Amino acid sequence: MFVDKLQIVKNNIYKYYLIHILLTLFLLLFITLLTHTVIHIIMKALIQRVKYANVKVNTKLVGSIDNGLLVFLGIMNDDTEDDIKWLADKISKLRIFNDENGKMNLSLLDLSYDLLIVSQFTLFASTKKGNRPSFIQAAKPDIAIPLYDKSIAYFKSLGIRVEQGLFGGDMKVELLNDGPVTISIDTKNKE
């Protein structure tokens, strides 16, 4: 009888250790997944067809275009660098300029028009709580600046003349929206 009770205690100790080991492994797996989560980047663009646009920082003109597109570009933690190419190709080929019949049938590339890119973290404003927007979803400068610069470089590689604002600067943007035509695109909802 004593041997049977000893065997039951022994089996319970084994079960306890087995449960403890399984919980420890689960916790290690969870921590590993949590610390190795990939940060993706989502880019959002608010595109305006303009007759002219310019951007100033401290009253100094830093970028100016005539006919073309003004793109407010926001970058958030949630996609990949391949989306830079997708977004730039999409914007440069958008047929939102009028042809000879007044139909929106021509692109920035078709007309060799210019592009003004302005960084715009406020595109990721969250207004779910209270009346003060939260910008927590916007990428931090160490992530956003390299992608912003690569976006500009990619547009230039397409043969587009690109002007730009000053990333993180207190910018004053002046424009004459043509149409008006304003389109929002993001890399999460590719269409």
The catalytic residues are: 122
Longest Cα–Cα distance of the chain, Å, equals 101
Contact 162, 156 (CB under 8 A): yes
- Computed over its alpha carbons, how large is the radius of gyration of the chain? 27
Half-sphere exposure of 102 (CA within 13 A, CB side): 1
Cβ-based neighbours of 86, under 8 Å, separated by 6 or more: 187, 190
153: alpha, beta or left, given left = phi > 0 and alpha = psi -120 to 50?
alpha
CA separation for the pair 150, 138 (Å, rounded): 17
- Chain CA centroid to CA 32, Å: 26
CA separation for the pair 16, 20 (Å, rounded): 6
H/E segment holding residue 150? helix 141-157
